[in-house]
Amino acid sequence: MSTPVKGNQDFFYNNRFIHDFRQASPYIHHFNGKTLVLAISSHVLVSDKLAALAADILLLTSLGMRLVITHGCSQFIRTIADCHNAISIDKNSVTDEAALRLVKQACGIARFDLEAALSMIPTQVMDHSVPNVRISSGNFLRAKPLGVINGIDMGYSGSVRKVDAAAIEEHLACNQLVLISPIGHSLSGQSYRLPVNEVAQAVSEAINAEKLIFLGTQQGILDEQQQTISKLNCIEIRQLLARNITDKRQTKLLQTAVHVLEHGVQRVHVLSGLHDGSLLLELFTREGSGTSMAKAPFMRIRPAENKDIGEILQLIAPLEAAGILLPRDSEYMENHIHEFSVLEQDCYVYGCVALHVYPQERAGELACLIVSPNARTRGYGELLLSHVIKQAQELQLQVLFALSTNTGDWFIERGFTSATLTQLPLKRQQQYTSNKRQSKIFRRQL
Whole-Å CA distances, 404 to 280, 325, 337, 428: 42, 8, 21, 14
- Cα separation, 137 vs 181, whole angstroms: 8
- The length of the chain, given as a count of residues: 446
How far out from the chain centre does Cα 444 lie? 38
CB 324, min distance to ligand ACO, A: 5
Binding mask 343-382 for ligand ACO (x = CB under 6 A): -----------------------xxxxxx----xxxxxxx
Burial 341-371 (b: 16+ CB within 10 A, else e): bbbbbeeebbbbbbbbbbeebebbbbbbbbb
- Phi-psi region at 228: left, alpha or beta (left = phi > 0; alpha = psi -120 to 50): beta
Q: Which is nearer to ligand ACO, 271 or 367 (CB)?
A: 367
Count of residues that bind ligand ACO according to CB under 6 A: 23
CB 328, min distance to ligand ACO, A: 12
CB 408, min distance to ligand ACO, A: 7
> Quick check: 255 binds ligand ACO (CB under 6 A)?
no
CB 388, min distance to ligand ACO, A: 10
- The torsion angles phi and psi of 373, rounded to 5 degrees, stand at -50, -35
Select the residue whose beta carbon is closest to ligand ACO and give its number.
381
- The torsion angles phi and psi of 22, rounded to 5 degrees, stand at -65, -40
CB 315, min distance to ligand ACO, A: 8
CB 371, min distance to ligand ACO, A: 4
User: Site residues for ligand ACO, window 293-352 (CB under 6 A)?
Assistant: 319, 324-325
Contact 205, 265 (CB under 8 A): yes
User: Site residues for ligand ACO, window 170-189 (CB under 6 A)?
Assistant: none
Q: Which is nearer to ligand ACO, 41 or 404 (CB)?
A: 404
Q: Which is nearer to ligand ACO, 63 or 446 (CB)?
A: 446
Binding mask 387-426 for ligand ACO (x = CB under 6 A): ---------------xxx-xx-xx----------------
Query: Mapping DSSP to helix (H, G, I), strand (E, B) and coil, where does residue 127 land?
Result: coil
How far out from the chain centre does Cα 105 lie? 35
User: Site residues for ligand ACO, window 185-224 (CB under 6 A)?
Assistant: none
Query: Within 119-247, where are the H helices?
Result: 165-173, 196-206, 234-243
**Residues lying near ligand ACO in the complex (CB under 6 A):** 319, 324-325, 366-371, 376-382, 402-404, 406-407, 409-410
